[in-house]
């Protein structure tokens, strides 16, 4: 036996609800995309590829600075006989080398997480 009028009405409403849901999801996605594009234009967001390239270059420079330490310090340390002065020289060099990495805290706002009430 065929479907009743009631069943046809219910199926029609289900299709309309499904279409409305699809329209809603599409409108929401378009709005989110527009907001992301606006944030990119305002400089509030950066493309992932840019951040990856920048971070890779930044870390490579930091690694190179650390690896240069032995050749930069070898003559100075070889000439120094006072262990306290050797420690001071090493500490000053390490602080200078690590300052590059501490800049990340200022750049990325470490400790400035948004607080939710």
Q: Is 113 a residue whose pLDDT tops 90? A: no
Q: What's CA 67's distance to the chain center, in Å?
A: 26
pTM of the model: 0.52
Length of the chain (residues): 117
What local confidence, expressed as pLDDT, does residue 114 receive? 52
Q: In this predicted model, which residue has the larger pLDDT, 23 or 40?
A: 23
| Calpha distance 101→89 (Å, rounded) | 19
What local confidence, expressed as pLDDT, does residue 85 receive? 95
């Amino acid at each position: 036996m065929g479907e009743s009028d009631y069943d046809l009405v219910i199926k029609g409403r289900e299709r309309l609800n499904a279409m409305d849901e699809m329209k809603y999801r599409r409108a929401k996605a378009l709005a989110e995309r527009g907001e992301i594009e606006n944030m990119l234009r305002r400089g509030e967001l950066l493309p992932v590829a840019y951040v990856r390239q920048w971070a890779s270059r930044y870390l490579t420079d930091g690694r190179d600075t650390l690896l240069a330490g032995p050749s930069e310090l070898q003559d100075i340390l070889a000439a120094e006989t006072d262990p306290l002065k050797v420690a001071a020289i090493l500490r000053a060099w390490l602080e200078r080398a690590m300052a590059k990495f501490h800049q990340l805290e200022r750049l990325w706002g470490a400790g400035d997480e948004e607080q939710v009430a």
